[in-house]
Structure 1
Amino acid sequence: MMNFIPPKELTLRGYQADAIEALRSGIRSGVTRQILCAGTGAGKTVCAAHLLREADRKGSYALFLVDRVALVNQTSQTLDDYGIRHGIVQGINERWAPFENVQVCSVQTLARRSLPRDPDLIIYDECHCQYKHTLEYMARYPRAIKIGLTATPFASGMGKHWDGMVNVRSSRLLITDGHLIEPTIYVAKSPDDAELGINKLGEFSDRSASDAGIKIVGDVVAEWIKKTHEHFGGPAKTIVFSPTVAHGRELCDAFAAAGYNFQQVSYEDKSDEERASKIDEFKKPDSLIHGLVSCGVLTKGFDVPDTLIGISCKPYRKSLSSHMQEIGRVMRSHPGKSKALWLDHSGNIERFALDMFDVWENGAGDLSHAEKRDTIARKREAQTREQVVCRECGGVMRGPLCMACGWERPVRSGIVAVDGEMRAFDLGRMAIEARPGLRAECLKRPRSVWDAAVNYCIEHSRGQDCAHHGDPTTHSMNIRPAIPRPSDHPFQPHPTRLI
């Protein structure tokens, strides 16, 4: 007989409860298509589980849409943990139960399957993906409330399908609260941009990235060995992002030659079961797999919180969202986890660091601004590299401080030193060497300029520095014989107190 495990209590953090209330406020004002924007670790799935539980309690029909089989299973497990009854709409699944109030749906299966009721609530996970058939499906039910979940609402055109956005909490605050680990980032050897071709979408082509990346596979392995021993004393659980299956295969072979077990998961896997078995093994605390090499399958929604190292080998030209989704895979907190590393062999840090740090600090902003972030082609520039890459260790700077070695960039004073010749000031040469363009008549009589200056200082001095102070008859060449004239010697400070 199996032991009964009571469901976990579903308790929202304060900022999550605030976000839910903001969504409800929008719905009450007639905004029925809203994005819930929250970075890795903010608890999007927990917020979604709360909404689904409330829908079930009210008898509403609610759909949770995902685009990966792994995410179907992951979401279903989360709902089971909280005791939320649900069915699964995905292939031939033993949990097909369409009359349950809550359904976890693969978007691919949903497009070709009928359900017994029209949905009252549709939650679309990773809504920045914008699958055409999913958007068309949601449009068929205009009366349904739609909630999109994403950490990166940066895809062009999102404003056409969503009317508003609620930002949950910034990554910086999540790091401060201990819900996320800020990774220590190193900029390592990567292909030159000149080696990378551009596809019709304006991104770097996977084929060119693979061909260029294969040339530095040895550097990727060597850097990983060095950094794992330096920071963790040996191998640590790692995920690698690769542009193609061929490149991933080369990486696995190179790690194997060095004595480490790296396994590839990709869209070319022979079966979902094969991929799932590798992922299940990788999730074990004592896994026999040192690392997973992902080609297009673990970028988003993949949660193995005890992963300590991420390696970026797939370069992006525009997609800030893909870069941030990848680096988010190593940022989740876990008991005993105090550090995470990100090794950049793609050049993405040099292209995206400033945008990424802005989002970490300030959130995604409003939707009209956010949806343009994936449309801009970034370049690797010397000025950006100087801002974000530590000249001492190759780590990444946050402001003036390197997050890897602690080196601090010297503060610039703003004073520019120019080599020159120091010489005495000679008023007698003033008329000759006056700045070109000055035409005042007084410059032809330098002695009168000197006298005028002395008289002005005396008139505006405090006290009775001159016995004749205030007497207009003293305003002459004989006013203070002790004051040296220009012809006497070069200028030197005089003890007369001047204000």
Structure 2
Amino acid sequence: MDLFSSPAFVEEVRAKEIVLRAYQVDAVNQLRRSAATGARRLILAAPTGSGKTEIGAHMIQLNQKKLSTAWFIVDRVTLVDQTSQRFFSYGIDHGIIQGGNRLTDYSKPVQIVSAQTLARRSIRKLPDLIIVDEAHCEYQSVLDLIEEAGSARVVGLTATPFTSGMADHWDGIVNVTTVNKLIAEGYLVPLKIKACVSPDMKGAKKKFNGEYEEEEAGQRGITIVGDVVHTWISQTRAMFGGPVKTIVFSPSVAHGAELCRQFADAGFNFQQISYLDKSDTERDAKIREFRKPDSSIDGLVSCAVLTKGFDVPDVLCGISCRPYAKSFSSHVQEMGRVMRSSLDTGKTFGLWLDHSGNCISFADDTAWLYEYGVDSLSDAQKKDSEPREPTEKAKKKHFCGQCGMQIEPMAVSCAACGWERPNSNTIQVVQGELVDFEVSAKTSFQPRKGLRAECLSDPKSIWNAALAYCMSNTRKGEDAARKWAYGIWAGIYPSSKLPYGLFDVSCRPNDVAPDAWNLIDREVRRFRKGSKSARSAA
């Protein structure tokens, strides 16, 4: 029997339609307005869990009413079936362009296409609409297709448009919504993050792209596997009353195998899936079992295969064991796997156990992204270009050295236990002790003691105001104005660094509020007065 003639399938399709949320409707309208100005290749930037696939499916349905053709390109073979099931549930008839797939049918107006297959095949009939999932994973075959299909409208979907070169390959960006808004609206859940013991990566070998070499990261990580298992047992018991469905991100196959072995010794079923799996059938069977509400698998250990597009909403815990030197995008994608809401389970938060140091290395950048999203491709692509490392300064900024609870960056003492920050530049760090960490722009970007203006709660607007002020009050050119603005901003937020890429962001003078302008003006006058007093004393 044909799949579309099955009574069960027809009933399911009739019962389900795509009902867009308000911000999704606004995103589609923004895409239309941008396309009307002549932009053909547009990035739709939206956090994990915001419903990017639903937006794409909705656009395809609109496209079908015009009797046009559409391709939805996925960057991993494992996502073909997942996307196909979603399309079937919405009643979108489609074929699949993937080697040996039983649904291959080039006559269908809608095709789900594997990027890997696209690189191996030459297809003459090109679509009118191209939607590229996980568009930050740029494949030359996809870029060539976009170039060849010169009249097609192209939309790239991604939560992390940070790949170098994207500004050259796309005409613009639509920022759909932010993580913090999705949490406030109940579409995502917040993370309770624990910064745990992590391996020492000083001097570790790096690959040509600046990331840590996987096998060496794995070997260093193996030394703390016992801590990983012990921490998971104790923290899931404390947070949830016992073991919960978990995803582990591992740096190497050997590291993942050792994790599975030690979890098994402790009485828990953790299964590894990796890019070296010889059998897709075996991997798919593990994933299908893991998706079940009553799965016999306690956790999946992923080595470079579940970072993106993996949707199991009832996952309650994530464990980060893969340290990143530069890849902010990978860090964000991994955390997103645990932030999806799950109404069926009453999920109110996700637990994130960080054994990599990534939550400290990328703390300020994460807080900024969650609050503001992405402004422009030219700025965003710098997020993955500079190396970061977890430092004692970052630990001192975010964590209490006594009880391990989060502490406000500018606070003298901990509100939970009364511990006072030491006067020296060091911090007490207890091996293996857990510390709480909150991803928030309000806690990460604290103004200098004594500053109380309401506008200070929006550090992004303060940077824009500083830019506008300096550009309008200097004759030395834009570069000098930006350096001056950075000095002002750093004086206002002395414990924070300007997030990567923001230094070069375009100035928006029309968006400067009077109170922000006045604040910058007072800061400049204060500095000049201080400099004048110092010269007089000399």
TM-score bin (small chain): 0.7 to 0.9
Summarize deviations over 1:386-417 as a string: whole Å, max 9, x none. Answer: 223343554556767899599x9999967xxx
Deviations 1:75-112 (A, max 9, x none): 11111111111111111111111111110000111222
In 2, Cα distance between the equivalents of 1:411 and 1:398?
11
The answer to whether the Cα contact below 8 Å between 2:39 and 2:171 also exists between their aligned partners in 1 is yes
Query: 1:379 maps to which residue?
Result: 389
How big is the shift at 1:298?
0.3
Structural RMSD (CA): 2.3
Measure how far apart 1:201 and its partner are: 1.2
Which residue number corresponds to residue 370 of structure 2?
Answer: 360
Map 1:254-269 to 2 at 5 A. Answer: 254-269=262-277
The verdict on how the C-alpha distance between 1:77 and 1:394 changes in structure 2, with shifts beyond 3 A counting, is farther
Q: Greater Rg, structure 1 or structure 2? A: 1
Question: Is the deviation greater in 397-406 or in 276-285?
Answer: 397-406
Please give the TM-score of this superposition, normalised by the length of structure 1.
Answer: 0.79
Q: Is residue 394 of structure 2 the alignment partner of residue 388 of structure 1?
A: no
What is the rounded CA distance, in whole Å, between the counterparts of 1:200 and 1:19 in structure 2? Answer: 37
Corresponding residue for residue 247 of structure 1: 255
The SS at the match of 1:6 is helix
User: What's the CA shift string for 1:199-245, capped at 9, x where partnerless?
Assistant: 22111111221110000000000000010100111100000000111
Q: In the aligned structure 2, how far is the partner of 1:113 from the partner of 1:413?
A: 62
Counterparts of 2:86 and 2:259, CA distance in 1: 33
Equivalent positions of 1:336-347 (< 5 A) are: 336-347=346-357
Q: Unaligned 5+ residue runs, structure 2?
A: 1-5, 417-434, 451-538
Taking the aligned partners of 1:386 and 1:303, their CA distance within structure 2 comes to: 35
Structure 1 stretch 240-249 or stretch 116-125: which is displaced more?
116-125
1:41 aligned residue? 49
Aligned partners of 2:108, 2:34: CA distance in 1, in Å?
27
Q: Which moved more, 1:140-149 or 1:277-286?
A: 140-149
Matches of residues 389-428 of structure 1 in structure 2 within 5 Å? 389-394=399-404, 404=436
Is residue 154 from structure 1 mapped to residue 166 from structure 2 by the alignment?
A: no
Contact in 2 for aligned 1:186/1:395 (Cα 8 Å): no
Deviates more, 1:361-370 or 1:245-254: 361-370
Structure 1 residue 143 displacement after superposition:
1.3
- Aligned pair 1:213/2:221, yes or no? yes
Q: Distance in 2 between matches of 1:160 and 1:187?
A: 37
Gaps of 5+ in 1: 415-499
**For 1:187-336, what aligned pairs fall within 5 Å after superposition?**
187-194=195-202, 196-335=204-343, 336=346
1: CA distance, partners of 2:408 / 2:179:
14
Task: Call closer, same or farther: CA 1:412–1:135 in 2, change over 3 Å.
Answer: closer
2:85 is aligned with 1:60: no
CA deviation after TM superposition for structure 1 residue 276, in Å: 0.6
- Corresponding residue number in structure 2 for 1:108: 116
Q: CA 1:192 to 1:22, structure 2 compared with 1: closer, same or farther past 3 Å?
A: same
Judge conservation of contact 2:399–2:437 (CA < 8 Å) in 1: no
Report SS of the residue matched to 1:306.
coil
Partners of 1:176 and 1:27 in 2: how far apart?
30
Match of 1:350 in 2: 360
1:31-75, Cα deviation, whole Å (9 max, x unpaired): 001000000111101100001111222111111111212211111
Contact 2:195 2:437 in 1 (8 A): no
Structure-2 separation of matches of 1:301 and 1:19: 20
In structure 2, C-alpha distance between the alignment counterparts of 1:393 and 1:104, rounded to whole Å? 51
Aligned-pair CA distance for 1:191: 0.9
Q: State the distance in 2 between where 1:287 and 1:122 align.
A: 36
Counterparts of 1:112-127 in structure 2, within 5 Å, are 112-115=120-123, 117-127=125-135
Deviates more, 1:126-135 or 1:351-360: 126-135
CA distance in 2, matches of 1:308, 1:353: 21
Task: Choose which of 178, 196, 209 in structure 2 pairs with 1:170.
Answer: 178
Deviation at 1:5, TM superposition (A): 2.0
**Secondary structure, in 3 states, of the residue corresponding to 1:346?**
coil
Contact preservation (8 Å) 2:40, 2:152: yes
- Note closer, same or farther for the CA distance 1:75–1:411 as it changes in structure 2 (3 Å cut): closer
- Which residue pairs with 2:107 in the alignment? 99
Cα pair 2:398 2:437 within 8 Å, conserved: no
Which residue in 1 is equivalent to 2:425? none
SS at match of 2:260: helix
What's the CA shift for 1:120? 0.8
TM-score, normalization by structure 2: 0.74
CA contact (8 A) 2:212 2:325 kept: yes
Describe the SS at the equivalent of 2:116: helix
Distance change >3 Å, CA 405–CA 30, structure 1 → 2: closer
Superposed CA deviations along residues 357-412 of structure 1, whole A, max 9, x for unmatched, are 10000102211111111001112222222223343554556767899599x99999
Distance in structure 1 (CA, Å) of the matches to 2:407 and 2:105: 51
Q: Contact (CA 8 Å) 2:360, 2:390: kept in 1 or not?
A: yes
Q: 1:106 to 1:334 in 2, by over 3 A?
A: same
2:514 match: none
Native 8 Å contact 1:248 1:264 kept in 2: yes
CA pair 412-24 structure 1, distance change in 2 beyond 3 A: closer
Report the CA distance shift for 1:398/1:107 in structure 2 as closer, same or farther (over 3 A).
farther
Q: What is the identity, as a one-letter code, of the residue corresponding to 1:363?
A: G
**Cα distance in structure 2, aligned partners of 1:405 and 1:186:** 6
Work out the CA distance in 2 between the residues paired with 1:44 and 1:201: 29
Give distance in 2, aligned partners of 1:206 and 1:270.
19
Task: State the number of aligned residues.
Answer: 414
Partner residue of 1:481? none
C-alpha distance in structure 1 between counterparts of 2:313 and 2:400, whole Å: 28
Aligned to 1:379, the other structure's residue is in SS state: coil
> Aligned letter for 1:376?
E
Alpha-carbon distance in 2 for matches of 1:389, 1:45 = 37
